[in-house]
Amino acid sequence: MKKISLFLMIAMVAGIFSCKPKEKKSDEAPLIEKQTIELKSDIMTPEVLWSFGRIGEPEISPDKKTILYGVTYYDLSQNKGNRELYTVGINGQGMKQVTKTRFSEQQAMWSPDGKKITFLSSESGSMQLWGMDPDGNNRKQITNVENGINGYKLSPDMKQLLYAAEVFPENQFKDLYAGLPKASGQIYNDLMYRHWDTWVQSYSHIFVAPFTGIITKGKDIMVNEPFESPLMPFGGMEQINWSPDSKTIAYTCRKKKGAEYAKSTNSDIYLYDLEKGNTLNISEGMMGYDIAPVFSPNGKKIAWQSMERDGYESDKNRLFVMDLSTKAKTDYTKNFDQNAESLAWSDDSKSIYFISDWQATDEIYRLDIENGNIAKMTEGIHNYTTVLPAGEFLVATKVSMSMPAEIYTLNAKTGKETQITTTNKDILDKLTFGKVTQRWIKTTDNKEMKTWIIYPPHFDSTKKYPTLLYCEGGPQSTVSQFWSYRWNFQMMAANGYIVVAPNRRGLPGFGSAWNEEISGDYGGQNMKDYLSAIDAVSKEPYVNKDKMGCVGASYGGFSVYWLAGNHNKRFKAFIAHDGMFNLESQYLETEEMWFVNWDLGGPYWDKNNKIAQRSFANSPHRFVQNWDTPILCIHGGLDYRIVATQGMQAFDAAILRGIPAELLYFPDENHWVLKPQNGILWQRTFFNWLDRWLK
């Protein structure tokens, strides 16, 4: 995302940033930083995968000469990671590490004259705002807000600080707890009492405070509103921005609560006037997700991402721009059948750069505001994940199935790229990755489906290899050129497997019609697409048709459970992670009701709803009588999107039917696996299971 430039007031900053560094405690654990890892071969292992440095949050200095970014390294023995800050010239020269602490500096930003860097750190115990010189010296705490802050942005004139922090409402049932200090029960009387991986006891509000001295408490611009900004569970500070004149805050909010909140995706863009204290909804009447507002540098316009339909979280992400003087709104993607995300204005306010997925790669596009033309700037087998204008250059991060994230610069006119960082080059140079190819496969309804094929390192076409069908989650998430630290295709290939990863029906990047064909059709055409992909590839002489497996997570886990009862003996092993097994229980167990209402068509008790009844008739648990293949079920105890009992039901059903099965349960993980040792255990269990049945 694009951060607004900041103007540094020298007198103020002199008081805020000067300090002495903390002394090291003798009993502290070793600092987590880049380690030298000895490879036993050129084949990647889970331990090697977790040794990569993870780049993120690039920021450009005001003079457009230096890039600030963070790198996270993990330590298996400590079972945690640590993030440090680095700077490098926009020409790729002069890379320097500017922090070396145990406190994971995050959300780092430049001051407008390039003389200071601000960031979040938990050094004082809770997450607070800190500052330092660009070389890492003169580290100083700026905020001391009770319970810490979640994010921040300094006003362009450097006079105000906005920050996001949790607000804890009064317990409406407090009288019932009188004299019961050890009572652990929690009372609820409405929905959204838990979300993603958290039991909801607070919500994030936006605060504003003068940027002077040590800031302990700001003004709540959402006071007495039981709503959140940014939005859970994935929203960040890209959803909140200052106007260039520092007089207005634009923020994203869904001003609903309880059951209404759980059933709706209708968020809006609000403008808060600091002088008047007024709040204006500029997207009123626009019924879907409206998020991530960003002002043009000249302050005349504001752009944001907008979905059209309420309740549909995977609707097309449109690019809307409002003229702040006339209030006229324009959809610049009306004739652009793709998503527009990560919006960033050019310095002259004449263009907007954004990222869009087309046919399973994420590319950079440029919108010309004057004529409405959209130009594709990049092309390749990769995913661009961020884009930031920097004068004649763009600064972007890029990944692929064969490379973790690195930072690049691109010519702002031609798109010609130059790699700037080489964080993991020392490891990558020692590894051999499998070849990644793309193949268009004909589906049962005579459509063309793009499918990625990933081959093992040192692939020999005269041999036969066990082969995996990868089922994507989402359900509407493209199988693009992503690099994952769990579902890593090169990791699967390194273990000797060919991977077949189809962009089946219901994925974006192939037009709206293709994307929407999955809604209300679980168990329908998209399942036929999966079988079309594996059947086509299995005809190759190097595929061992007697040693094929099927793996996936989330909707991919649902797909595995469904295929387990409908695969007609194609597969010899299944792995389902956080998958939906019983759709009737899923309907009332998940926290976001808009998802099941849209995707399943409605509640299972609505017998006159044909779409809903078709969905529930295709629930995987209805086909357990056909199960005949070993299955590994994986689930996290903190997953409230698809609760752990879904995986337990599937595991129990397999065991009761006499089918070989294992359950890998993580009590401290959510819909993902984030802790290093759990990540290694996941990989070991994953391949131990596959090797047992496919090798």
Our count of domains for the chain comes to: 1
- Cα separations in angstroms, 436 against 452, 496, 499, 502: 7, 14, 9, 13
DSSP code for 143: B
Q: Are residues 254 and 270 in contact, defined by beta-carbon separation less than 8 angstroms?
A: no
**pLDDT of amino acid 27:** 56
Establish whether 606 is a catalytic residue. Answer: no
Query: Which DSSP letter does residue 607 get?
Result: T
Does residue 126 fall inside a structural domain?
no
Contact 6, 112 (CB under 8 A): yes
- Is residue 660 in a domain? yes
* Domain contains 603: no
Domain-embedded: residue 534: yes
Contact 430, 95 (CB under 8 A): no
* Torsion angles phi and psi, residue 10, rounded to 5: -60, -45
Rounded to whole angstroms, the Cα distance separating 67 from 390 reads 10
Give residues with Cβ within 8 angstroms of 317, minimum separation 6: 289, 305, 306, 307, 339, 340, 341
The runs of H, that is alpha helices, within 542-675 are 555-564, 583-589, 593-600, 610-617, 644-656
pLDDT at 463: 98
pLDDT digits (tens, 9 = 90+) for 451-482: 999 999 999 999 999 999 999 999 999 999 99
Adjacent-strand bridge partners of 70: 56, 85
**Are residues 479 and 426 in contact, defined by beta-carbon separation less than 8 angstroms?**
no
Q: Is 554 an annotated catalytic residue? A: yes
Residue 304 tokens read as 């944001």
Catalytic residue among 75, 529, 599, 639: 639
Answer yes or no: is 631 within a domain. yes
pLDDT tens digits for range 351-375: 999 999 999 999 999 999 999 999 9
Number of neighbours of residue 35 by Cβ within 10 angstroms: 11
Q: What DSSP designation does 510 have?
A: S
356 assigned to active site: no
pTM as predicted: 0.95
**DSSP symbols for 64-120:** SSEEEEEEEEEETTTTEEEEEEEEEETTS---EE----SS--EEEEE-TTSS-EEEE
Range of the domain at 685: 432-583+624-694
Q: Of the listed 402, 532, 554, 615, which one is catalytic?
A: 554
In a domain, 448, yes or no: yes
Are 694 and 466 a contacting pair, CB within 8 Å?
A: yes
Q: Residue 343 and residue 238: Cα distance in Å, rounded?
A: 10
578 domain residue, yes or no: yes
At 652, list the tokens.
């129990």
Q: What is d(CA 398, CA 364) in angstroms, rounded to the nearest whole number? A: 11
Q: Are 134 and 115 in contact (CB under 8 A)?
A: yes
**In angstroms, rounded to a whole number, what is the distance separating the alpha carbons of residues 128 and 45?**
37
CATH no. for residue 502? 3.40.50.1820
3-state SS class at 663: strand
Q: How far apart are the first and last CA of the chain?
A: 45
Find out whether the peptide bond into 233 is cis, omega within 30 degrees of 0.
yes
pLDDT along the chain (695 residues), means of 10: 30 36 57 91 97 97 96 97 98 97 96 90 97 97 97 96 97 97 97 96 97 96 98 96 98 97 98 98 98 98 98 98 98 98 98 98 98 97 97 97 98 94 97 98 98 98 98 97 98 98 98 97 97 98 98 98 98 98 98 97 98 98 98 98 98 98 98 98 98 98
User: What tokens does 81 get?
Assistant: 């990671």
SS3 58: strand
485 domain-assigned:
yes
